[in-house]
Amino acid sequence: MILTVDPSSAVPPYEQIRAQLEAMVASGTLEAGDRLPSIRQLAHDLGLATGTVARAYAELESAGLVVSRRRTGTVVADGVAASPSERRRRLSEAAEQYARAVALLGVAPDDAQAAVLRALAR
């Protein structure tokens, strides 16, 4: 499993980490009990300050998605993977957001669909 962070993005790095980990937990890619890398390991690997990764982990912990323990480090919490109906609901919500953005930009539906397919192919 790979995390990607773009420092030039308008989205803060901690939020990029948090959002990707949240997505992995919700999709079941990360399962309950899976251990996340230590804060320093992930910070060094991504070339970020440890505080950045610590903030992302803290927000995930506040949301109940992960649990930090002294002996085992940060692990994915039990019962947080989304059910199939929840996944459908979130997908539908994301699609509606995207549709609104497409409408605001005045992009043709075919072009919008092509953009989605390109993004999915990446």
Q: To the nearest whole angstrom, how small is the minimum distance from the Cβ of residue 100 to another protein?
A: 18
Site for another protein contains 23 (CB under 8 A): yes
Binding segment (CB under 8 A) for another protein, from list 25-33, 54-62, 63-71, 102-110? 25-33
Place of tokens 């910070």: 43
Q: What are the angstrom distances between the C-alpha of 5 and each of 28, 37, 49? A: 21, 15, 13
Contact indicator for 89, 48 with CB cutoff of 8 Å: no
Interface with another protein, residue 31, by CB under 8 A: no
Q: Which is nearer to another protein, 12 or 37 (CB)?
A: 37
Q: Is 41 in the site for another protein (CB under 8 A)?
A: yes
Q: What is the DSSP string of 67-88?
A: EEETTTEEEEPTT-SPPHHHHH
> Could you tell me if 21 and 65 are in contact, meaning their C-beta atoms sit under 8 angstroms apart?
yes
Q: How far apart are CA 103 and CA 47, in angstroms?
A: 38
Closer Cβ to another protein, 8 or 62, answer by number:
8
Residue 65 binds another protein, judged by CB under 8 A: no
Out of 32, 54, 61, 73, name the contact with another protein by CB under 8 A. 73
- 51 closest CA partner among 17, 96, 90: 17
Size of the site for another protein (CB under 8 A): 29
Contact residues for another protein, defined by CB under 8 A = 1-8, 20, 23-24, 27, 29-30, 35-38, 40-42, 44-48, 73, 119-120
